[in-house]
Chain A
């Protein structure tokens, strides 16, 4: 059975015992030095890392972590920006049989302490001084935390705490250990099972304490595969990783889909350079929250106001043509020949260049998720021929469960369930879903688990409905829905997103 890559659709079912490390090892050995696994822009230049190098780093780190005392099932917290080292450390944690817990970089000290304590974290892998400081500050109050591993040496010259160890030192320990026990890495990778927990995600605790969602290898792998069955990716594709690893969306692209498809993951130089670096790569597939698309739209609107009159009228004409074509596409109607011709012209004269400026010149599938997007904004991207799709899902279902199909896009909906996924609406209007990717439950919280998981159905806490074509319409979080005095219920988010284009 071919496991991803090569542009072929992955086989329909994922073997129950397949784990992320095992798939990683297969893919890395297959591609070796022939393919670039990731690129990082550093010192102003894109530096490639091949699959063989990726595998070597992961092998050394895995053995290093084992040498430092990591045992199967241990939780490892990770904190840092989107860099290759972050992904290596996560993959090494999984290879060693550990559970990776990503923390947001801007997590406050109290949150870090709560999560480290609640998840029984033994190792903290921190990117640099700022994250190390957080780790050292909570160490006294979190006695289970044994080691803090750091990576970026800047500002670290005066740190002498014995629990600190550098990432390079861990790799060195791993190489020594590997020389003594050459089969140890393969044994560790072979030891896991698909039903074991691989990731623990703490959802933001805006209301009360954060809850830790437990996801298995099988959850992550089935989710990635089912998504790729809708929109296949190939090993030739590029993806830009710039959203926090602590967000499930980034995990599903970099880990689940990344391994199945084997595409190249590109890491920008820094948060300030994302848009610039994004354009340099020109990815084929992207996934982002609504905010980035809104930012793109705003920059186009602002620049268009500054342009000369000729350019402005060309832009407006092209947008009018593109908009009508988009409307027909949404209605699934064939455009007349004259409009199609105008569309080609508008694309050649305006849209092509616009896409290039936004870094979307090669985009095949652009996904937006997280929060609702206004239909007008959505239409704008389709008017300039960017295949923007809504997705819907949550951490508890390993990322996404509902997605637009390329030939069936409605700006009001979030699309149809991905394969192997059932979605229905409860009597109270709550969105329920069932699939092999539904999580195991919340860590140390049987009460919340019982509320979210009933007879295998995931209760999302979101309100919505299914329209006549089987598309899911997402209204709002159930708790945000307001009732008028006459009993009519309405969703503020649904209304707000529809007013976003209004000045």
Chain B
């Protein structure tokens, strides 16, 4: 549990005159669920974007499993075992559920375009193996067999969120970045999603470290091992969930939003 898997060192990120991150340092340990909280505009999503490479921070380093990845392109980071989901679903809406998840599996395919065209021997074998992985480990696990061949854009929001998690898992990640996985879900869907995150984190099969950005405090307090709070691009607190929740600076940051801090659907 104590081994550091992801280390952020003094990250700075500004857009014109707006400072989104003003020197954030964090350490995420292997095997934990680490949550980031903070009011709107605190810099949580920017931080995730810096980790998976959508943004390049102007200053500071991102170290993943001992290797500095701050300057790597996003697809290279994905190959190292970083996967993420988005606050506003970023699936291919015109494609089927299966095709979306297959896409997440793409980096594990070794056959190229030519092999795929001929489709004999290794290419065909690999396709069958990968399909089996998807059916066993993802479709069955996330209970989305019944929508396998449905077009993603036609599905209800809660199921789309689940498909997005499925695509991230298809990567077989070692670190999963989850940007507000509960946003827009009803109570039952929230419970399902929390169970999936716990399973991914705890099941021997997965053992994935999770970095979670979430507003639903009930969920954050229930499932996180450690929590950090951001405000105006600065880390204002870090520690076990209860300690962060009762930290005076955190309450201060949410001042006027006290309702929000304790907002939960239970």
Interface positions of A (Cβ within 8 A of B)? 42-45, 154-155, 157, 269-270, 272-273, 276
Interface size class of B (residues with CB under 8 A): 10 to 19
Contacts known (A155-B195, A155-B199, A157-B203); A43 close to B132, Cβ less than 8 A: yes
When distances are taken between beta carbons in the complex, the residues of chain B under 8 Å from A154 are 199
Contacts known (A43-B140, A157-B202); A269 close to B146, Cβ less than 8 A: yes
Q: Which 7 A-B pairs have the closest CB atoms?
A: A272-B146, A43-B135, A273-B146, A44-B135, A269-B145, A43-B136, A270-B146
Closest to B137 in A: A43
Interface residues of B in 125-150 (CB under 8 A from A): 132, 135-136, 139-140, 143, 145-146, 148
Closest-CB distance, B248 to chain A (whole angstroms): 35
Closest-CB distance, A159 to chain B (whole angstroms): 13
When distances are taken between beta carbons in the complex, the residues of chain A under 8 Å from B136 are 43
Closest to B148 in A: A44
B199 touches A43 (CB 8 A): no
Ordered by A's residue number, 19 sampled pairs between the chains whose C-beta atoms are within 8 Å are A43-B135, A43-B139, A43-B140, A44-B135, A44-B139, A45-B135, A154-B199, A155-B195, A155-B199, A157-B202, A157-B203, A269-B145, A269-B146, A270-B145, A270-B146, A272-B146, A273-B145, A273-B146, A276-B146
Bound CA span A155–B198, Å: 10
Closest-CB distance, A81 to chain B (whole angstroms): 12
Q: Is the interface of B mostly helix, strand, loop or mixed?
A: helix
Task: Count chain A CB atoms within 10 A of each CB in B139, B145, B148 and give the residue with the most.
Answer: B145
Closest to B198 in A: A155
Closest to A129 in B: B195
When distances are taken between beta carbons in the complex, the residues of chain B under 8 Å from A42 are 140
When distances are taken between beta carbons in the complex, the residues of chain B under 8 Å from A270 are 143, 145-146
When distances are taken between beta carbons in the complex, the residues of chain A under 8 Å from B148 are 44
When distances are taken between beta carbons in the complex, the residues of chain B under 8 Å from A157 are 202-203
Bound CA span A75–B81, Å: 51
Closest-CB distance, A39 to chain B (whole angstroms): 16
Closest-CB distance, A64 to chain B (whole angstroms): 25
When distances are taken between beta carbons in the complex, the residues of chain B under 8 Å from A272 are 146
Task: Count chain B CB atoms within 10 A of each CB in A43, A45, A272 and give the residue with the most.
Answer: A43
Closest-CB distance, A273 to chain B (whole angstroms): 5
Closest-CB distance, B202 to chain A (whole angstroms): 7
Bound CA span A272–B146, Å: 6
Bound CA span A269–B146, Å: 8
When distances are taken between beta carbons in the complex, the residues of chain B under 8 Å from A269 are 145-146
Closest to B203 in A: A157
Closest to A41 in B: B145
Bound CA span A157–B145, Å: 23
When distances are taken between beta carbons in the complex, the residues of chain A under 8 Å from B140 are 42-43
Closest to B147 in A: A272
Bound CA span A272–B195, Å: 21
Bound CA span A44–B145, Å: 7
Bound CA span A273–B146, Å: 5
Q: Beyond A269-B146, A270-B146, list 12 extra A-B contacts (CB 8 Å).
A: A42-B140, A43-B132, A44-B135, A44-B139, A44-B148, A154-B199, A155-B195, A157-B202, A269-B145, A270-B143, A270-B145, A276-B146
